[in-house]
A = this chain, B = another copy of it.
Amino acid sequence: MDSGKDTSQRILDAAECLFVEHGFAGTSMRQITSAAAVNISAVNYYFGSKDGLFQAVFERRAEPFALLSIAKLNALQLAKPACSAVDIAQAFMGAALEMGRQPEHGGLVFVKLLARSYVEPHPRLKEKLPLRYGELTQRYLAAMRLALPHLSDMEVAWRFQFMSSTMFNAFAGNNVMRLFMTQPIVNARDPHKVAEMLLPFIAAGLNSPAAELVTPSTTEV
């Protein structure tokens, strides 16, 4: 029998793919259990509800990805205490790439789920995510502040935001081209090639001079 995986894991795998493709509201439990070839009531047995299933789908990958991202930064700062913004960007991208290289961690599916959650955050994420990713964000922001002393803390945060949205969307394959053109001319099949295209853009963007503020007041909350 090739279906050696147990029921709950098959549900998680199927749900992960379907949530990425059609979103939470756009995916029914019947689709999930049908794709996983399990009985429909198994979802409630293992996860309590559809909401609970989503949470489980996310939590399975969240911790490994956070740990991986922080480990990449730790390794970088150990090897090169005065690291540049480009080094930091590469560490961040490296975490996504390494995740994509590990089939046991779902490959790039979780990065795609992150890209989607970015636009359409599930209610339960708003409670749990800050606690789990707060440290990651703080660590990367602190590193970037050191590497970009010519920028204010606020502008560093903006650039981290720009870097993240560009990266996540690129790895997730969310192309304007795919949407706007009959014949797409960019393709995100190989994540390493995407990373090669990304790097000069992001590196130059991070290191660019501070914004010339036309409006004098702050952009902060």
Contacts and interface: CB of A to CB of B under 8 A. Distances in A.
Contacts of A219: 186-187, 190, 193-194, 196-197
A192 interface: yes
A118 to B, nearest CB: 5
B205 A155 contact: no
Interface string A155-180: 10111111011100110101111111
B208 A200 contact: yes
Interface stretch (A47-55, A99-107, A131-139): A131-139
A211 B185 contact: no
Given A204-B207, A219-B193, A170 B180 contact: no
Contacts of A131: 182
A195 to B, nearest CB: 9
A159 to B, nearest CB: 6
A186 to B, nearest CB: 5
Copies of this chain, complex-wide, total 2
28 contacts: A23-B120, A25-B25, A118-B176, A119-B169, A119-B174, A125-B179, A126-B179, A129-B180, A130-B179, A137-B176, A137-B180, A154-B185, A159-B201, A160-B176, A161-B170, A161-B176, A162-B166, A162-B197, A165-B165, A165-B166, A186-B219, A186-B220, A193-B215, A193-B219, A196-B211, A196-B212, A200-B212, A205-B205
Interface of A: 22-26, 115-121, 125-126, 129-131, 133-134, 136-138, 153-155, 157-162, 164-166, 169-170, 172, 174-182, 184-187, 190, 192-194, 196-215, 219-221
